[in-house]
Amino acid sequence: MVNIYVGNLSYETTEDDLRNLFEAHGAVDRASVVMDRMTGRSKGFGFVEMPNDQEARAAINALNEMETRGRKMMVNEARPKEDRPARRSRY
């Protein structure tokens, strides 16, 4: 399983749009656009999970810096999530 980071997305890009872009290069298990909790708007990036390593590499190579909806996407393998200290409440 390869987890792919997709940045510099247009704020109008949907999860279906993201899935369709990557499915042209192989099987997609999951596509998600990260949303702001407060506004409900896209944060301009997302993640795609592809089960086949070769297909994922092909998608990364083909889609990195591709322009879609007026913006050049940044596509690369996602880094592991870093542990962050727990946030303390101010109240």
Domains of the chain: 2-77 (3.30.70.330)
The pairing of strands 67-68 and 74-77 is unpaired
Say which residue, 89 or 24, is predicted with more confidence: 24
**Distance from C-alpha of 67 to C-alpha of 87, rounded to nearest angstrom:** 37
- Supply φ then ψ for residue 85, to 5 degrees: -65, 150
- Predicted TM-score (pTM) of the model is 0.86
| DSSP state for residue 43 in the 8-state scheme | E
Q: What is the pLDDT of residue 21?
A: 97
Q: What is the pLDDT of residue 41?
A: 95
* pLDDT tens for each residue of 30-83: 999 999 999 999 999 999 999 999 999 999 999 999 999 999 999 999 988 777
pLDDT band at 84 (very low <50, low <70, confident <90, very high): low
Q: What is the pLDDT of residue 91?
A: 59
